[in-house]
Amino acid sequence: MTWSEMRPLLEQACTETLIMVGWSTLIAVVVGLPIGVLLVLTDKGGLLQSTVLNKVIGQIVNVGRSLPFIILMVALMSFTRWVTGTTIGSGAAIVPLAIGGIPFFARLVETAVREVDHGLVEAVQSMGGDNWTIVRKVLVPEALPSLIASTTTTVIALIGYSAMAGTVGGGGLGDLAVRYGYQRFETGLMWITVAVLAVVISLIQFAGDCTARSLHHRGARSGPGPKLRLLKAKEPAVADVDKVA
């Protein structure tokens, strides 16, 4: 197979992979972020401590993470057909990709949010901040570099999942590698597909690392800004008490 014959196939496969991974990542982030934060809030000592709710959500996430993706795709075929009207193609593959990515990203979010300094949370509480303020102003912003890194990890994992989806008619680079590289013995095309996947993953990892590093350095340059500002806000009250005394 010549390059002129490979090129349109590679372009179509790359487009399908980007569409699958892009939409599934968006859904995984939108749904997985609140689930991960809720796991932290409902845990022991959390702002919304609820042992029952935490265990229920945790078990659902664990079950979702424990299923190999190829089995998850087969198990969700009826649901995928109900949502998209088919079980073949890149559009249909978005459903199991998103569902597989949600629990994966939720656990990464939970880990990232747990790393936030609890002193900041206590400072906001002492200032009268409610739970929503703590989540919006402290937990998510302070965990943002780790959340970016978690999103990068999720994207790379979904690219791997999308390649597996191609083995059962999901489209994309995985489907191209199986149909031409394996079934038609086009070894050259298969290795080009592998090289494209390696380059794409390397670029995504580089972009994610640079973004997370820049956010981390920006926070480091500003120092313990939120904590200091909150503590400074309390100083006048202390001074007033001393003055009255």
Model confidence pLDDT, tens digit, residues 36-88: 999 999 998 888 888 899 999 999 999 988 888 888 888 888 998 999 888 88
The residue to which tokens 């079980």 are assigned: 87
For the chain, percent of residues with pLDDT exceeding 70:
88
| Structural tokens at position 245 | 């005394």
Distance CA 48, CA 66 (A): 27
Q: Estimate the crossing angle of helix 90-114 against helix 144-166, to 10 degrees.
A: 150
DSSP codes of every residue in 192-212:
HHHHHHHHHHHHHHHHHHHHH
Query: Which residues, 6 or more positions from 245, have their beta carbon under 8 angstroms from its beta carbon?
Result: none
Distance CA 70, CA 62 (A): 17
| pLDDT for the residue numbered 241 | 42
Q: How much is the mean pLDDT over the chain? A: 84
**Which residue did the predictor score with more confidence, 95 or 227?**
95
Mean pLDDT along residues 156-182: 82
pTM, two decimals, is 0.84
Going by C-alpha positions, the residue among 213, 215, 196, 112 that lies closest to residue 154 is 112
For the chain, how far is it from start to end, CA to CA, in angstroms?
90
DSSP codes of every residue in 150-173:
HHHHHHHHHHHHHHHHHTTT--HH
Distance CA 76, CA 92 (A): 10
| Structural tokens at position 85 | 């009207």
pLDDT level of residue 244 (50, 70, 90 thresholds): very low
Which 8-state DSSP code applies to residue 131? H
**Which residue did the predictor score with more confidence, 235 or 171?**
171
Give the count of beta carbons closer than 10 Å to the beta carbon of residue 163: 22
Query: Do 46 and 40 form a contact (C-beta atoms < 8 A)?
Result: yes
Q: What is the pLDDT of residues 120-146, one digit of tens each?
A: 888 888 888 888 888 888 899 999 999
